[in-house]
């Protein structure tokens, strides 16, 4: 059966539009192209590979409020994270693992200065003043196991927001159960039997070796106290030195700033 000229023209336009969509989809999936260069596609490439996991608390009243904040512009500008863990153990993903979320801001951990580009951010529904429910921590541990396994992130490379930005941040705060995470194999934790520091031990060099930025030593000590001792304070004491000595005695693979 023949096709009338008008219907034929409609069919041609529809076909052209469909081919344009397919071509555009191909361009998007291939990533941005530089118009200055001839495109000769190679199959030898990979996605972004995070090497660090950063834990935050939301300091808000509910998961719903945090989901809104993490998906929209707020008073401080746009912010996001890869995951959000609810108090009841519910888990939400907002940004794909291989994409760069805006969760860390300015700061550094060891030699990593662009933390957003090198990390996965996990927000935890907590107002900053309350204990973390067990259901929430159990979900977090499952998520950490999944991320470290799939992305081959060293399990020692799980830190808090305050660790990388001690002058600006305090989350996930002194109530966060870092020891429970360490018992499950995530982060670093001092051995109880490491003993006293050797003569001449320098605690500031030890803090740098762990990953802390010492531009503001008082702020760094506060973050260290939150993480390893669950307390406030901006001055090192004898117990801090024992903790730092124990952390520096860990196997080399366990501390990788």
Q: What is the 3-state secondary structure (H, E, C) of the chain?
A: CCCCHHHHHHHHHHHHHHHHHHHHHHHHHHCCCCCCCCCCCCCCCCCCCCCEEEEEECCCCCHHHHHHHHHCEECCEECCCCEEECCCCCEEECCCCCCCCCCCCCCCECCECCHHHHEEEEEECCCCCCCCCHHHHHHHHHHHHHHHHHHCCCCCCEEEHHHHCCCCCCCCCCCCCHHHHHHCCCCCCCCCCCCCCCCCCCHHHHHHHHCCCCCCHHHHHHHHHHHHCCCCCCCCCHHHHHHHHHHHCCCHHHCCC
| Listed residue (174, 156, 240) closest to 206, CA to CA | 240
Catalytic residues: 123
* CA–CA gap between residue 106 and residue 82 (Å, rounded): 18
Q: Which residue has the tokens 């008008």?
A: 6
Strands 73-74 and 77-78, bridge-based pairing: antiparallel
């Amino acid at each position: 059966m023949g096709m009338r000229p008008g219907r034929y023209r409609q069919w041609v336009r529809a076909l052209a539009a469909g081919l344009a969509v397919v071509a555009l989809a191909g361009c998007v999936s291939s990533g941005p192209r530089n118009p200055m260069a001839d495109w000769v596609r190679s199959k030898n490439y990979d996605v972004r590979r995070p090497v660090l996991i950063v834990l935050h608390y939301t300091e808000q009243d509910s998961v719903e409020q945090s989901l809104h904040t993490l998906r929209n512009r707020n008073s401080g500008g746009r912010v996001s994270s890869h995951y959000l863990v609810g108090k009841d153990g519910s888990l939400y993903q907002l940004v794909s693992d291989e994409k760069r979320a805006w969760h860390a801001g300015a700061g550094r951990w060891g030699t990593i200065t662009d933390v957003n580009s090198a990390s996965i951010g996990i927000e935890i529904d907590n107002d900053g003043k309350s204990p973390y429910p067990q259901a929430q921590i159990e979900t977090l541990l499952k998520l950490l196991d999944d991320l470290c396994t799939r992305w081959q992130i060293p399990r020692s490379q799980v830190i808090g927001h305050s660790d990388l930005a001690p002058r600006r941040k305090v989350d996930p705060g002194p109530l966060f159960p870092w020891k429970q995470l360490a018992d499950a194999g995530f982060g670093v934790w001092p051995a109880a039997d490491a003993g006293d520091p050797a003569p001449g031990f320098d605690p500031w060099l030890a803090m740098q070796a762990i990953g802390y930025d010492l531009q503001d030593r008082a702020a760094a000590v506060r973050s260290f106290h939150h993480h390893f001792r669950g307390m406030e304070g901006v001055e090192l004491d004898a117990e801090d030195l024992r903790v730092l000595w124990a952390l520096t005695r860990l196997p080399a693979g366990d501390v990788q700033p």
